């Protein structure tokens, strides 16, 4: 599919979007989340967003909040829509929401083999803070995850 000029829109994910979200997820990843995982994320009140282009869902993201921090659980763009700034726009939406909701840091895991995602996260300001061994399923067994952190605001050490 060739993308024409479009007006990108990011809006909260709705239950009616789930089949389309699942389709994007299946095109974006070899080991996609199921529709039930997305349904549970909505039910639990996670920050779930969709990226629209030409009035159709072409991407999505999920953010979980915890005390003082947020965790990007999922971010995907349909491969037909890569390299148009849509992933960056979704990531920036998540960072803005995390800050609005009081997070000091945002964490995520990414496959080292997913070079475009690693590049996006590093270019946005995420820094590596760890590695999770055998985190992701892979064709030949398991793949590690890089753990990255984005600092929204510096916090003074306790006692100062």
Binding residues for acetyl-CoA: 75-77, 114
Q: Give a yes or no: residue 3 inside a domain.
A: no
Q: Give a yes or no: residue 75 inside a domain.
A: yes
| pTM to 2 decimal places | 0.91
Q: What is the DSSP string of 20-40?
A: HHHHHHHHH-SSPPPHHHHHH
CATH of the domain at 107: 3.40.630.30
Q: What is the pLDDT of residue 160?
A: 44
Cβ-count burial 85-110 (b if 16+ within 10 Å, e if not)? ebbebbbebbbebbeeeebebbbbbb
Q: Give a yes or no: residue 100 inside a domain.
A: yes
| Catalytic residue ranges | 109, 121
Q: Give a yes or no: residue 38 inside a domain.
A: yes
Q: Give a yes or no: residue 158 inside a domain.
A: no
Q: What is the pLDDT of residue 115?
A: 95
For residue 99, what are the CA distances in angstroms to 67, 68, 123? 12, 9, 19
How many domains, the chain? 1
- Give the range of the structural domain holding residue 120, as residue numbers without chain letter: 9-151
pLDDT tens track, the chain, 160 positions:
444 556 779 999 999 999 999 999 999 999 999 999 999 999 999 999 999 998 899 999 999 999 999 999 999 999 999 999 999 999 999 999 999 999 999 999 999 999 999 999 999 999 999 999 999 999 999 999 999 999 998 765 555 4
| Tokens found for residue 67 | 């005390």
Residue in the block written with tokens 């992933």: 87
Q: Give a yes or no: residue 157 inside a domain.
A: no
Q: What is the pLDDT of residue 5?
A: 57
Q: What is the pLDDT of residue 136?
A: 96
Q: Give a yes or no: residue 4 inside a domain.
A: no
Binding residues: 75-77, 114
């Amino acid at each position: 599919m060739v993308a024409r000029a479009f007006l990108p829109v990011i809006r909260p994910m709705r239950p009616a979007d789930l089949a389309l979200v699942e389709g994007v997820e299946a095109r974006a990843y070899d080991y996609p989340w199921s529709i039930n995982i997305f349904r549970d994320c909505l039910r639990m009140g996670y920050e779930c967003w969709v990226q629209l282009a030409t009035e159709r869902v072409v991407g999505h993201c999920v953010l979980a909040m915890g005390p003082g921090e947020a965790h990007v659980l999922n971010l995907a763009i349909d491969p037909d829509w890569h390299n148009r700034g849509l992933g960056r726009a979704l990531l920036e939406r998540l960072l803005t929401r995390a800050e609005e909701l009081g997070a000091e840091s945002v964490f995520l895991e990414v496959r080292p083999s997913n070079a475009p995602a690693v590049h996006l996260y590093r270019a946005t300001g995420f820094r590596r803070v760890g590695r999770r061994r055998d985190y992701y399923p892979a064709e030949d067994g398991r793949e590690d995850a890089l753990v990255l952190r984005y600092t929204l605001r510096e916090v003074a050490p306790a006692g100062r």
